[in-house]
Amino acid sequence: MKRNPLIPYGIIAIIGILAIVIVAGMGVGQREALQADQNGEGPVEEAASDDPQALYDANCLSCHGADLSGGMGPDITDVGSKMSVEEISEIIQKGRGGMPAIQVSVEEADLISEWLSEKK
Ligand code: HEC
């Protein structure tokens, strides 16, 4: 029996179309998530705007650890007994030594600093 030479192409075409539909579907999902973010509906953004702990988690945790005990950066579990709110805020905004300036607003830097200055 002779096989129809068109069948393999048909299968490839169907797989191709399926792949396009799947990728397009993911794109739409991401766009919706992005729009939700821009409208301020994103859960992360909302939490980050006025919750110092969330701001810390987003901007500092990678170097100072989830429990402030350090890692790449020094242990800051009792930083409040060594530094004032102003000093901490300045380090966040300008960086110091091995720590880069962190991209947060002045208000956010102050919020994190007040929270950290209570850690004694
Ligand atoms: C890229 C890694 C990194 C990130 C991100 C980072 N730090 Fe640091 N941090 C460091 C390093 C390294 C030092 C030590 C700086 C030095 O050499 O003087 C430091 C020092 C500090 C100090 C001074 C500690 C002391 O005992 O003198 C404070 C306070 C501090 N960081 C707070 C923060 C806060 C708050 C954030 C987030 C807004 C943050 N850091 C984000 C790496 C980081």
Cα 69 to Cα 84: distance, rounded to the nearest angstrom: 19
From first to last of its 120 residues, what are the pLDDT tens digits of the chain?
Answer: 567 777 888 888 999 999 888 888 877 777 777 777 666 655 554 444 689 999 999 999 999 999 999 999 999 999 999 999 999 999 999 999 999 999 999 999 999 999 999 999
- Spatial separation of the C-alpha atoms in residues 30 and 95, rounded to whole Å: 34
Determine the distance separating the centroid of ligand 1 and the alpha carbon of 74, expressed in angstroms.
7
Tell the residue number behind the tokens 């988690």, with chain if given: 57
Q: Is the CB of 97 under 6 A from ligand 1?
A: yes
Ligand 1 mean position, distance from CA 47 (Å): 22
